[in-house]
A and B are shown apart, each in its own frame.
Chain A
Amino acid sequence: MNKKTIIHIDMNAFFASVEQQTNPSLRGRPVAVIGSNERTVVTTASYEARAYGVKTGMTKYEAKRLCPHIILVPGDTSRYTNTCCRLVEIYRQYTPIVEVYSIDEAFLDITGSVSLFGSAELIAKKIKIDIHKEFERLTCSIGIAPNKLMAKLASDMKKPDGFVVIQQEDVKKILEDLPVKELCGIGKHIEKYLADMGIKTCGELRRASIRLLKNKFGIIGERLKLMAQGIDYSPVIPLEQEPDAKSVGHSMTLDRDVSDIETLERYILQLSEMVGRRLRRGGYTGRTIALTLRYPDFYTFTKRSTEKIHTSNSIDIHIIAKNILNTVQLQQPVRLIGVSISNLVKNMIQIPLFRTDKTRQAATQAMDMINDRYGDFHITWGTLLKRYHHKGVISPSWRPENIKCINLSVQNKKIKRQPKRGNSST
């Protein structure tokens, strides 16, 4: 039986690299990809910008302070998502078991493919060559190991354009002095709790008492102990086998803070339509609607309402979310607003009993058919003709297909790119 072999591929400075490939004048220069909002942050910085200390999550002002000649480039989500899809097609030439971990990372289970291609190292080298042929300047760091945890650690070890193999017999030595935070899955909070227990390295975590770990972390304590030994049983899950969505939501950070209720209700309508469209496309209905609000001081809260009946109708979602808003006494203007729906059921068919419900369902189906044909919001409510043109942020849960795919068509550019087409409204 072949020993398990996992590859982790991490595209280097992905968005920035795509922009530098697209625009020759950016090559070799410090570049930061940002959102289109005034209140935006750096989503990716090129390696030239990173040399100045520019990091993901910084505001553009901080980035400019660190690197005054940095070039700020608004991101283009459709470009990055299409590039990711093409990368996945490359990976699938070597194994069908490809897990898209994020837009710029993937796991490949090549256990069954190694004998076809010669060796794991050869597969990794071929992938690098294929990426170079297709995209020229895009590079990736590849890690090869017996499991996902170690493969990801391996790819992190050399960037950019890295290639690291961790053999099973080297795992203990590599992990002995490694800080615990270097393991994927151990964040700041767990790191701090472990530090309070006197545990700073994976070696110390490996030697820690399982009873103490379970007392502190519950069932996660067992997993932490396994991680410290380089053990990870989690499988590579290809797209087709991903579990059904548990919730569907959309949120937007507004250009300016808003306290006007009518304006907020318009945003809720827009978000409800985006959520409803994704639900209907995926064949889901849900009955717990949540409204999330964030104030300028970043205080964030969510209020939920669970209804008796499942729905995927945008107006239903809008009314419920609006009702939730009416129960909130706004303490400050709103910086971010989000609508989501959970308690999902797939393929539940609801037969409308009354004429008004039948008419509404028919209108929704007609709108969906038009928007499927011509693009989202091509036909919409009159209130939304002046809607917020949300550039679209790629969620960590984005995938090339299925319901987790973020609907990117609500973008300013897309409206401009269809000359001589007018938007209809109802």
Chain B
Amino acid sequence: MITEINEMIQVGAIFGDNKKKLKPVWFIWNGRKYNIQEITYIWTERIGKANIHHFAVTDSNSLFSLSYNTDTLVWTLHSVETAG
């Protein structure tokens, strides 16, 4: 089941990680810290002048859709998909 969230979140990320350039490692949502086990997909879209880097990530339990706006420097949690 997919739940749309669309909230700004805090993310711990590594810049310059080999070829990936930007790699989220953990994030905090609703007071809880989530450690990212796998980045399953990365893609970029352009909205106006801003580049939005999207990351589909999993903590082994749920699938999260995050994005980083290079213009505003804001991370956003867009959705959560849980089993069932």
Contact = CB atoms under 8 A, between A and B. Distances in A.
B80 interface: no
B6 A24 contact: no
Contact of A21 (B6, B40, B48): B40
Interface in A15-70: 18, 21-25
Interface string B50-70: 101010101000010001000
The SS class assigned to the A binding surface is helix
B4 A373 contact: no
A21 B40 CA distance: 6
Given A416-B4, A416-B6, A22 B44 contact: no
Interface string B1-19: 0001011100000000000
A409 interface: yes
B54 A79 contact: yes
A280 to B, nearest CB: 15
B47 A21 contact: no
A308 B67 CA distance: 47
The SS class assigned to the B binding surface is strand
Interface string A371-390: 11111001000000000000
A408 interface: yes
Q: How large is the interface on B (under 10, 10 to 19, 20 to 34, 35 or more residues)?
A: 20 to 34
A417 B56 contact: no
Given A25-B83, A416-B6, A419-B7, A18 B41 contact: yes
Nearest to A421: B72
Contacts of A25: 63, 81, 83
B45 A372 contact: no
B48 A417 contact: no
A82 B50 CA distance: 15
Interface in A127-154: none
B48 A23 contact: no
Contacts of B6: 416-417, 419
A167 interface: no
B76 interface: yes
Contacts of B78: 413, 416-417
B76 A82 contact: no
Given A21-B40, A83-B43, A417 B58 contact: no
Q: How large is the interface on A (under 10, 10 to 19, 20 to 34, 35 or more residues)?
A: 20 to 34
Name the residue among A22, A83, A374, A378 with the largest chain B CB count within 10 angstroms: A22
Name the residue among B40, B52, B83 with the largest chain A CB count within 10 angstroms: B40
Given A416-B4, A419-B7, A419-B76, A22 B40 contact: yes
A78 B45 contact: yes
A66 B62 CA distance: 29
Contacts of A374: 47-50
Contact of A79 (B7, B43, B50): B43
Nearest to B82: A25
B63 to A, nearest CB: 6
Contact of B41 (A79, A371, A378, A416): A79
A408 B63 contact: no
A418 B47 contact: yes
A83 B43 CA distance: 7
A417 B43 contact: no
A414 interface: yes
A414 B49 CA distance: 14
Given A374-B47, A419-B7, A21 B41 contact: yes
A196 to B, nearest CB: 48
The 3 A-B residue pairs with the shortest CB-CB distance, nearest first, are A375-B47, A78-B45, A22-B41
13 contacts: A23-B56, A25-B81, A25-B83, A78-B43, A78-B45, A371-B48, A372-B48, A373-B49, A375-B50, A416-B6, A417-B47, A417-B52, A418-B47
